[in-house]
Amino acid sequence: RPVVAIVGRPNVGKSTLFNRLARRRLAIVHDQPGVTRDRKEAEAIVGGRDVTLVDTAGLEEAPPETIAGRMTAGSERAVDQADLVLFVIDGRAGLTPADEHFAAWLRRKGRPLVVVVNKAEGRAAAGGVAEAYALGLGEPVAISAEHGEGLGELHARVAELLGPPPEDDAEEAEAQAGRERPLRLAVVGRPNAGKSTLVNRLLGEERMLTGPEPGITRDSVATPWRDPEGRLVRLVDTAGLRKRARVTGELERLSTAETIRSLKEAEVVVLVLDALAPLEGQDIAIATLAEREGRALVIALNKWDLVPIAERDAARRLLADRLEASLAQLRGMPVVPLSALTGAGVEKLVPAVWKAYDAWNTRVPTGELNRWFEAAIARHPPPLVDGRRLKLRYITQAKARPPTFVIFGTRSELLPDAYARYLVNAIRDDFGLQGVPIRLSLRGTK
């Protein structure tokens, strides 16, 4: 995780900014024997990234009266270790010689840097902002750490400088090793929906690479195979449990545990429905679990051969209505009618699975996302709460797999659920995230 250091002369509001951005205190380490110096660190999400935030307040207040004496070794180390420096000045006081000294020192350090003009609530700091420009350290961001103003802009700037988060560690390792990353797929559904028949159909002996191998957990197996386009898939299965359950007659109870296990191991989940009885309580329960686990979901509407051709349109509409009514959070989920028994339609399943996988891995660049965000808000502005309009300032995608977004705004914690749902649905429609759970969290800047 990147390190972000907050620096500046005393009393400019470094600690206030630190407390404003910090989520959780990490540790207090003692610096330099003799003089006890606290170096405050915290976990924070800044600019959509998980960062370690370092507060240097106290460090520069060390001993001597000279300005140079304030740049203690601790402060210097914080800057040297930082991936990004937030250089805070007091917009009301204007630039002081100490600020200019700091600026010259930081310029020599050459770390990525944002000049933060604090105490800028209202118009109080217009002069300070102009002076901060003159430092030649880039465009300053005016904020009020105390009142939480301007933080959206600050997050946006940090996002630009830090860039998007790296992919999953595992994914990165695979890519570095030049290895192909398989898609982990689970096939789940009620007993007798046709899971085994479908799996056998998909694997079609000759494409199976080896027999089942140990899966991620002790109770699972994973069968690697190549899909018709040659892409590597690992079919994860906790079938051992299924067999045991049949023997002991504890099918219902154990199949839930088995399903949960499969969901946890999978990236994409194929939910097999019986077209003659689609989306009953148990199906909805499984889909809800998949959503909760953050998995991409594709529906295989099996036994389609048993639905008379004349009734197929009606059957699809019925399923669509039930999905809308019971699984609105997975709106637009892909549905592939097929017959595992005859093989009809099965060839459409794998492309739908890869499409869902790609959607699940989607990363929307911050700039594009915020242009979209502005338009979405303009189209349908956030509601008034207590007679005042909520200000949503900025959005960032914190991670993929599943796509997870964070919105920063003033009093955003008061945002009605209906509006959050509007945004989630708009994200889903506009970025093609059908069948993928979308996480949205709101961060108030008070």
- Residues annotated within the binding site for GTP are 8-15, 55-59, 118-121, 189-196, 237-241, 302-305
Amino acid of residue 94:
G
Which one, 201 or 355, has the nearer CB to ligand GDP? Answer: 201
Task: Specify the stretch interacting with ligand GDP by CB under 6 A; choose among 29-37, 56-64, 184-192, 207-215.
Answer: 184-192
222 to 95, 177, 218, 352, 407: CA distances (angstroms): 63, 21, 11, 21, 38
As a whole number of angstroms, the distance between CA 120 and CA 285 comes to: 51
Size of interface with ligand GDP, in residues (CB under 6 A): 15
Which among 125, 98, 113, 39 is positioned nearest to 74, based on CA atoms? 39
8 Å CB contact between 94 and 128: yes
203 binds ligand GDP (CB under 6 A): no
Residues 6 or more apart from 173 whose CB is under 8 A from it?
Answer: none
Beta carbon of residue 329, minimum distance to ligand GDP (angstroms, whole number): 25
Amino acid of residue 272:
V
195 binds ligand GDP (CB under 6 A): yes
8 Å CB contact between 187 and 199: yes
Task: Specify the stretch interacting with ligand GDP by CB under 6 A; choose among 72-80, 167-175, 337-345, 364-372.
Answer: 337-345
Q: Which of 19, 96, 196, 362 is close enough to bind ligand GDP by CB under 6 A?
A: 196
Question: Is the peptide bond prior to 437 cis by the omega test (within 30 degrees of 0)?
Answer: no
Which one, 57 or 349, has the nearer CB to ligand GDP? Answer: 349
Which one, 113 or 193, has the nearer CB to ligand GDP? Answer: 193
Beta carbon of residue 157, minimum distance to ligand GDP (angstroms, whole number): 53
As a whole number of angstroms, the distance between CA 118 and CA 129 comes to: 9
Q: Which of 9, 303, 401, 411 is close enough to bind ligand GDP by CB under 6 A?
A: 303
Which one, 246 or 371, has the nearer CB to ligand GDP? Answer: 246
Which among 236, 226, 219 is positioned nearest to 184, based on CA atoms? 236
Which one, 37 or 195, has the nearer CB to ligand GDP? Answer: 195
Q: Which of 29, 104, 134, 306 is close enough to bind ligand GDP by CB under 6 A?
A: 306
Q: Which of 46, 116, 273, 340 is close enough to bind ligand GDP by CB under 6 A?
A: 340
8 Å CB contact between 304 and 346: no
Give the Cβ contact number of residue 335 at 10 Å. Answer: 19
Q: Which of 38, 76, 174, 305 is close enough to bind ligand GDP by CB under 6 A?
A: 305
Q: Which residue is nearest to ligand GDP (CB)?
A: 194
As a whole number of angstroms, the distance between CA 311 and CA 387 comes to: 52
Torsion of CA 384, 372, 359, 317, to 10 degrees: 60
193 binds ligand GDP (CB under 6 A): yes
Positions touching ligand GDP (CB under 6 A) are 189, 191-197, 302-303, 305-306, 339-341
